[in-house]
Structure 1
Amino acid sequence: MASEPAKAPTEPQRLWADPADLSAAVAAAQSGDEGAFRVIYRAAQPGLLRYLRVLVGDDAEDVASEAWLQIARDLGSFRGDSEGFRGWAATIARHRALDHLRRERRRPSHSMPMEQLADRPSDDDTAGSALDAVASDAALALIARLPRDQAEAVLLRVVMGLDAQRAGQVLGKRAGAVRTAAHRGLRKLAKLLERPGTALPAETGHGVTGAAEEDETTQ
């Protein structure tokens, strides 16, 4: 019997454990507790780096450092809970990434071959496999093939675990638009993973195509 075609989930699931509640640590860090700031840094940095790697490629560490400098400087003005902090930090990181790409957009790029995606998923559940693939660092390059709005929606919803409303605040869009973009992005990832011999895109040192374009909602 032929298997039914896989369907993308209506709501993206998280790929890692639910993020820790940082509300107490944020409040303590705002009062000058350096240990608490280290706690929020260790909790938020991995997701920010994955997000930035798709936006700016090899420059993610540098951009993340710029973002954390601003986070440390402006932390006293933040008001909100744990998820609010993650969304606020993602917004700062996104602004720094767009600034960086605008500065670097005329820099020549150099292609470099990358290995093919090692374990191509079976055709049993390509949508689920697309979600699983996002968990690997190599597969972030596949997300970079998506249109920018879809790539960012997938990263914010699936990788960073923000709800649609928070992700919409980061992107300056309505929650419904973010849900739609994430859904379409996951469908495209599923189709990419269905192709035999799917190869990762050439490494150029930059992230998703078009990420340096002006975005009036982030200015």
Structure 2
Amino acid sequence: MGHGGEPRRAQAPDGELGTAVTRAQQGDEIAFAVAYRLVQPGLLGYLRGLVGDDAEDVAAEAWLEIARDLARFRGDGAGFRGWTATIARHRAMDHLRRQKSRPRAAALEQDMLELPSAHNTPEQALESISTERALALIADLPRDQAEAVLLRVVVGLDGPAAARVLGKRPGAVRTSAYRGLRRLAERLGARGVTGGRGDGVTDEGPKTLGDSR
């Protein structure tokens, strides 16, 4: 949720991002800065879930690699989000190996998390609480569920793209995201959440606040 209770989207429109990436590949430095601005919030939120307070340092390492290999990227805006998330995850794993620690769903930047649509059961539960509380609940999820929720909801990847980042089958990632969202909803059951499955997480990508799909 954004400041003042206003919703804000977790990811930039694919068309705008894709255009910026194409121009950046042609040497347009301003376009690269636009792509960075559109991708960085979600990427940083994801990294905070993996490495906590070291997220900004890891993100900086990732962007150095992204800039270096940009000419090799092939794809659209959604593909770019997946590609950058993969690079960021590799850098996070390297960082954790150096630190001899494990990935964790740690405290995220408060405004990094965008909750899915209010039209679905688990998301109704999430929307009924503060962002801080939602982040605390995500931090308590099992690692596979937390990372799936982060990739689907924070970074905004669809099922196949999230699966490629994690090196898993799309069905497994979809299940982890669903279970994570359901677990969050169950913890808030006293708030009157009812209804069927309604996870709002499909292979077409997660819904976000303000998304009428």
TM-score w.r.t. the length of structure 2 is 0.70
Residue type at the aligned position of 2:158 = D
Please give the alpha-carbon distance, in whole angstroms, between the structure 1 residues aligned to 2:44 and 2:129: 13
Q: Which residue of 2 aligns with 1:132?
A: 127
In structure 2, which of residues 138, 154, 167 is the aligned counterpart of residue 159 of structure 1? Answer: 154
Please give the alpha-carbon distance, in whole angstroms, between the structure 2 residues aligned to 1:133 and 1:152: 22
Q: Does 1:171 align with 2:161?
A: no
Deviation at 1:38, TM superposition (A): 0.5
Please give the alpha-carbon distance, in whole angstroms, between the structure 2 residues aligned to 1:130 and 1:182: 15
Kindly report structure 1 stretches of 4+ aligned residues shifted beyond 4 Å. none
Please give the alpha-carbon distance, in whole angstroms, between the structure 2 residues aligned to 1:173 and 1:155: 15
In structure 1, which of residues 69, 73, 82 is the aligned counterpart of residue 68 of structure 2? Answer: 73
Please give the alpha-carbon distance, in whole angstroms, between the structure 2 residues aligned to 1:134 and 1:168: 29
Q: Which residue of 1 aligns with 2:12?
A: 19
* 1:77 to 1:155, Cα distance in 2 relative to 1, 3 A: same
Greater RCO (CA < 8 Å, at least 6 residues apart): 1
Residue type at the aligned position of 1:82 = G
Deviations 1:167-195 (A, max 9, x none): 11111111111110100001111233448
Deviations 1:15-74 (A, max 9, x none): 726622211111111111110001100000000111111111111111111111110111
Percent identical: 66
1:26/1:37 contact within 8 Å kept = yes
1:52/1:60 contact within 8 Å kept = yes
Please give the alpha-carbon distance, in whole angstroms, between the structure 1 residues aligned to 2:51 and 2:130: 18
Residue type at the aligned position of 2:58 = V
Q: Which residue of 2 aligns with 1:59?
A: 54
* 1:143 to 1:17, Cα distance in 2 relative to 1, 3 A: closer
* 1:133 to 1:28, Cα distance in 2 relative to 1, 3 A: farther
Deviation at 1:88, TM superposition (A): 0.2
2:10/2:153 contact within 8 Å kept = no
Residue type at the aligned position of 2:184 = L
TM-score w.r.t. the length of structure 1 is 0.68
Q: Could you tell me which runs of 5 or more consecutive residues in structure 1 were left unpaired when the two chains were aligned.
A: 1-13, 108-124, 197-219
> How many residue pairs align between the two structures?
166
1:15/1:131 contact within 8 Å kept = no
Q: Does 1:43 align with 2:53?
A: no
Q: Which residue of 1 aligns with 2:105?
A: none
Deviation at 1:141, TM superposition (A): 3.4
Give the number of the structure whose alpha-carbon radius of gyration is greater.
Answer: 1
Deviation at 1:145, TM superposition (A): 1.4
Please give the alpha-carbon distance, in whole angstroms, between the structure 2 residues aligned to 1:60 and 1:137: 18
Q: Which residue of 1 aligns with 2:80?
A: 85
Q: Could you tell me which runs of 5 or more consecutive residues in structure 2 were left unpaired when the two chains were aligned.
A: 1-6, 103-119, 192-213
Deviations 1:65-99 (A, max 9, x none): 11111101111110111100000000011111111
Please give the alpha-carbon distance, in whole angstroms, between the structure 1 residues aligned to 2:189 and 2:51: 27
* 1:160 to 1:106, Cα distance in 2 relative to 1, 3 A: closer
Please give the alpha-carbon distance, in whole angstroms, between the structure 2 residues aligned to 1:23 and 1:67: 19
Please give the alpha-carbon distance, in whole angstroms, between the structure 2 residues aligned to 1:43 and 1:57: 21
Taking only aligned residues, the RMSD between alpha carbons, in angstroms, comes to 2.7
Deviation at 1:126, TM superposition (A): 6.9
